[in-house]
Structure 1
Amino acid sequence: MKTYVIPEYLVERDPRRCIRCKVCVNQCTYETHCYDPESDTIVSKDSTCVNCQRCVTMCPTNAITVKKNPNANRENANWTVEAIRDLKKASESGAVQITGMGNDKPAFNYWDRILLNASQVTNPSIDPLREPMEIRTYLGSKPDHIEIDYKDGVPELKTQLTPQLRLDTPIMFSAMSYGAISLNVHTALARAASECGTYYNTGEGGLDQSLYQYGDHTIVQVASGRFGVHPKYLDSGAAVEIKIGQGAKPGEGGHLPGKKVTPKIAAARNATPGVDLISPSNNHDIYSIEDLAQLNEELKTCNPHAKISVKVPVVPNIGTIAVGIAKAGADIINLSGYDGGTGAARTHALKFVGLPAEIGVKEAHRALCEAGLRHHVELWVDG
């Protein structure tokens, strides 16, 4: 089918250098290059090129160049070239345009510029060059007050504390599901989390049984599709996360195409190989704080030692939502910002719907403090 969308990039091939080895044909996942046996030439389809530069890198004779197309639709403040292109693509395909890998808008990201200076948070401050310090963090609800006894001058804690998650490195791996990523990547995340003393999140795609051995550094996720959720799965994690939504696409569900549902992925997700897996846009058993509290208790019945996290997108009134989650008995609130990555989300939602994580932290912290609940829950952030 002929497309009337002006290509964003142009693929140029030097015929004097090209040896027709077909490396570009085999390497391109977007089918931009194809070999014509009748003319013994390789031709390119500019409309599918995304400028990933893989063909340029892999070409043994440096015969390929990818350039920005100087031809473009006329734009103004309301209709940018990007908006016109997306509208034409949607009109031609009849489908919603999806993308992944986070928001590419030029919004200022404070998390990329954060500085952790542990020497300045002690009283008195310490000299980081001469005195030992650590960034170990313990996550979990804190009591209103603690009682200490002294026996022979040695302090003993009388107050019983709830189980805490110990992070030697206060940065965790965000949720990525088995199916969206491969088993090799999941294994790499699990091993890295164990080595670094932190945690990785399984996402909503279940967990291969070979990774149960890393359970002390695993956060298992329960989402709207309930894929791969069973007692052994829930009991394998140090924490259980209830996914209400995702910052990159608030109010939307997920879709794993059937061609990606291999027998191993289907086994982990309790699904049928080759069948599309749809995650509903909402959890059909959670419509109130009481429903969330009930699910919280059910999960703790399966894994009494696990901390319960609730993941919500940063949206208007996130402060009120955070207070409700805390009242439902959650140990952790995971605030998901608009800049979070995703396997696939509507382009429009990814770029224009969510809010920055920084706003979510401020609003949730303020609301929880006003409600007197801040010390009962931890705040996590992704995106």
Structure 2
Amino acid sequence: MDDGGGAILFRQPLATQAGLEILKRGGNAAAVHGHAVQRAHHSPSMSTEPMSTGLGGDCFALYYSSKDGTVQGLNGSGRSPAALTLEKAMEGLPPGATELPHTSAHSVTVPGAAAGWEDTIAWFGSGKLSMKEILAPAIALAEEGQVAGSGQTTWLILAPDSPEYLHAIIEACRLAFADSRWFATDQEHYKTPVREMLSKDYLDQRASLVDPHRAHVHPLHGTPAKRSDTVYLSVVDGEGNACSFINSVYDPFGGIVPKGCGFALQCRGANFSLDPACPNCLAPAKRPYHTIIPAMAIRKDVEEVICFGVMGGFMQASVPQGHLQVLLHLLHRGWTPQRVLDYPRVCLDPHTGDVDVEVGIGAATIDALRQRGHTIQLVVGHARKLFGRGQIIITRRDARTGKRVLIGGSDMRGDGQVAGW
């Protein structure tokens, strides 16, 4: 696809097609429109994917401007209620409780999705379409209905990775989860030492804990020196601007549905810690540890923008292990987006330390990982949804013609579709 064309990639075909129409009409804020289609809130029974997203959730966005080559971020996550103290939240909980139940009203944080959609249009939109025009197809789907999607149970599998490669990924994620579960928190309440955690000395220190022959079960968080947490859309418009956008209510259908309303409220507050010593401890008007991450990678030397995401629980938590596996295959193996997304994955459970391995990874590799001390569970069938459902659009300049080329891929673990013109 050359200059003047665009592409949109979404995990629900109806949302993809409707968003594509917005792009053709000159809009570049299809991310907002697409999510309204994905969870058209006029009627839960008419929603294309009501359990995943909606007005009661959160959203995040990354926007790449082709005009000046900059990337801007939008944080559409909500805070805990201003009057909710740790003491109040712990009333009625069993002794020793470390987290809020997902069904507790206290786990509901103020939804940020609606404001995030508006801000996405206001900040990044083309200005050619109104909010009414952008939401019109979503409203039509909600009122008139649509054909329900169906998942697939079989996918194309490539050769399995080596045990050495997977062991390194698992151990890196294991250490990163230990840090993120402790340090990922609202920066207005606690200044996470980001610079120190990204320093070569600290990374070398954490990397030195990886034993190439044995699993490191339940490592502690590090102590960097101080100086003083789903639905995803990837879209590129005709001008080369790219938006990586994600929206979620956390658990399927969130935690609570308000009486008389057609949407669910998220339960992100369940990710707060109840340990007063933890930076992520619950406090009034505070954002919790989050798991949804839009992603973007820019390679200036080849004028390439990789707009991508991997949805699904802890595949995309504050340790984006799904993103890591996808990006490594793209950059180091030079695979196409579709081949990367078709490839079997592994998923580390940060709570238990167990490793889920997708069918397609060979028995010899699994045995070798178990010999290193990993607790392995082979996952088949519909349960493979836990490995996430990814979407990728790459835009680059063709070295021979100088024209902009778009390449997309959609995960076959879901009903996603890539479309362009």
TM-score category, normalised to shorter length = under 0.3
Q: Which has the larger radius of gyration?
A: 1
Name which structure has the greater RCO, CA cutoff 8 Å, separation 6+: 2
Q: How high is the TM-score relative to the length of structure 2?
A: 0.18
Q: How high is the TM-score relative to the length of structure 1?
A: 0.19
